[in-house]
Amino acid sequence: MNEKRLIHLRDGRINHDAKFVMYWMQQSQRVHYNHALNHAISLANTYKLPLVVYFGLVTDYPEANERHYVFMLEGLKEVKELFTKLHINFVLRIEDGSKPMKEYLRQSQALVMDYGYVRYQRKWRKQVLEMIEEEFPDVFVDIVDTDLIVPVRVASDKAEYGAFTIRPKLTKLYQEFRDFKRLSRLRNTEHMFLRSDYDLIDPEGFCAGLNIDHSVKKSTYYEGGYLSANRLFLDFTENKVNEYVNSNDPSKNLTSKMSMYLHFGQISALELLDRMFMLHEQGQIDDSSFDAYIEQLLVRRELAFNFVTYQKGYDDFNHMTEDWAYQSMREHEEDKRVRLYTKEQLELAQTHDLYWNAAMKEMYFTGYMHNYMRMYWAKKIIEWMPNYQMAYETILYLNNKYFIDGRDPNSYAGVAWCFGKHDRAWTDRPIFGKLRYMNDKGLERKFDIMSYVNQMDLLK
């Protein structure tokens, strides 16, 4: 591993009574290409101790509902099965005020955390670190940035203006971070007989009994876990990748569908990059498709992570975009909105716009939406709400409620982009001001958009 992925957070003391090394798995819910896991294994080998991977399930995680929980637990079910084969101890505890975690920290020599990018995750890690400092001073603590190709704080130390400012930095650095060789072998494979609150056999049944938000049901179109991600990625690289340059067309289904797996850390962006490189070197992917995909996976994605890291108000209407955009919105605040819809009408796809309704249906039923339609969908909400702030809040609310990949750095950057962030000023026009405008004529001109509508009509 490139050592720049690692931050050594605190020194502890050698504790001869320690029973294991602990990896607190949170952001990076996978075995493959997980630098944090690998680092925990090498620490366990150094201390000649077994490894415990701890997962704390929070039942009131912000904006999470049944759709998110089932997808996540489907992934963890596979993780647990793999750990059993690798003789790594895995426990899942229902987290309430860090109490279960303390049981394990008390017995740990070292804790490894994976890096979390949004505010809630950062705060959670800070609290755990403070708790260790106060109550478990012997424990060494490290944190590893393993979900990005170039770690967010290495890529840049400030909020980037746009893709054009972060692209040269990432291009210069990313080869240095193609640094995952193989999972290390754990030497002490002692079975620890630790308490776990759930055996991960039936994620859907388990979620039904949890005290969580049940308002959005599991997606019957996408299943969580590395194996599903791998199947979809294989389908992408075998059948679609050389048409990726045309993937803007929502009727054609030419994208990789990796976002939800990346969101839960069920697959690593670096693994996808390495696989793309291998196929490109073997001549199976042409240059333009390869470049186009890397632009999304590396540049656009890491720009979003840069945004949530350095822009304090990344999810606050008043602080998420540029001065020129606020100025323009102020100038157009009073423009007459021709059509207004309530949040409920939007949620039920009850607008006059056939294309928009189709996009809303895709989101509602499957938990996913094509990137071009996400832009169109959000831009229309700007047009149909009484003011910009309500539009922003409604977009983010629906985004995070229905998308499996919602609540991601890409969610906040994608929504802010609709309000001018990482974009430029366009020709001034009613309601939108200088924000980029999109309309149904564009969809009709560029794509066979009725084919998209017909496909969405079949969803249940």
Least distance to ligand FAD, CB of residue 48, Å: 39
| Out of 61, 417, 419, 452, the residue judged to bind ligand FAD by CB under 6 A | 417
**Distance between CA 291 and CA 343 in Å, rounded?**
39
Considering only 61, 90, 264, 403, the residue that binds ligand FAD (CB under 6 A) is 403
Closer by beta carbon to ligand FAD, 184 or else 371: 371
Toward ligand FAD, which CB reaches closer, 51 or 297?
Answer: 297
Among 301, 361, 380, 401, contact with ligand FAD (rule: CB under 6 A): 301
What's the DSSP call for residue 211? Answer: S
CA neighbor of 399 nearest in space, from 343, 345, 338: 343
Q: Does 381 bind ligand FAD (CB under 6 A)?
A: no
Residues 178-237 that bind ligand FAD (CB under 6 A): none
Query: Least Å distance between CB 98 and ligand FAD?
Result: 28
Tokens 């909400």 correspond to 381
Choosing from 411, 432, 435, 453, the residue that interacts with ligand FAD (CB under 6 A) is 411
- DSSP assignment of 73-134 equals HHHHHHHHHHHHHHT-EEEEEE-STTHHHHHHHTTEEEEEEE---SHHHHHHHHHHHHHHHH
Please tell me the distance from the alpha carbon of residue 410 to that of residue 417, in angstroms, as a whole number: 10
359 contacts ligand FAD (rule: CB under 6 A) = no
Residue 380 in contact with ligand FAD, rule: CB under 6 A: no
| Cβ neighbourhood burial of 35 (10 Å; 0-12, 13-18, 19+) | buried
For 238, the token pair is 């075998």
Q: How far is the CB of 397 from ligand FAD (least distance, A)?
A: 12
| H helical segments located in 295-406 | 301-310, 323-332, 343-347, 354-366, 371-384, 388-402
Shortest distance, position 440 Cβ to ligand FAD, whole Å:
17
User: Measured in whole angstroms, how far is the alpha carbon of residue 279 from the centre of its chain?
Assistant: 25
Q: What backbone phi and psi angles, to 5 degrees, belong to 202?
A: -130, 85
Which of 394, 402, 410, 423 lies at the binding interface for ligand FAD (CB under 6 A)? 410
Phi, psi dihedral angles at 429 (to 5 degrees): -150, 165
Provide φ and ψ at 444, rounded to 5°.
Answer: -70, -40
CB of 295 to ligand FAD, least distance (A): 8
396 binds ligand FAD (CB under 6 A): no
Site mask, ligand FAD, residues 236-265, x = CB under 6 A?
A: -----------x-------xxxxx--xx--
The reply to whether 408 sits near ligand FAD by the rule CB under 6 A is: yes
Shortest spacing between CB 379 and ligand FAD, in angstroms: 8
3-state secondary structure of 455: helix
Q: Quote the radius of gyration of the chain (alpha carbons, Å).
A: 23
Task: Give the CB-side neighbour count of residue 52, counting CA atoms within 13 A.
Answer: 27
Q: How far is the CB of 258 from ligand FAD (least distance, A)?
A: 4
Contact 274, 178 (CB under 8 A): yes
Q: Which stretch binds ligand FAD (CB under 6 A): 55-63, 85-93, 292-300, 321-329?
A: 292-300
State in angstroms the smallest separation of the CB of 256 from ligand FAD.
Answer: 3
Kindly state whether residue 297 participates in binding ligand FAD, applying the rule CB under 6 A: yes
Residue whose CB is less far from ligand FAD, 53 or 378: 378
Nearer to ligand FAD, 20 or 372 (CB): 372
Fill in the DSSP letter of residue 300: I
Which residues partner with 52 through β-bridges? 22, 89
Binding site for ligand FAD (CB under 6 A): 247, 255-259, 262-263, 296-297, 300-301, 304, 371, 374-375, 378, 399, 403, 405-406, 408, 410-411, 414-415, 417-418
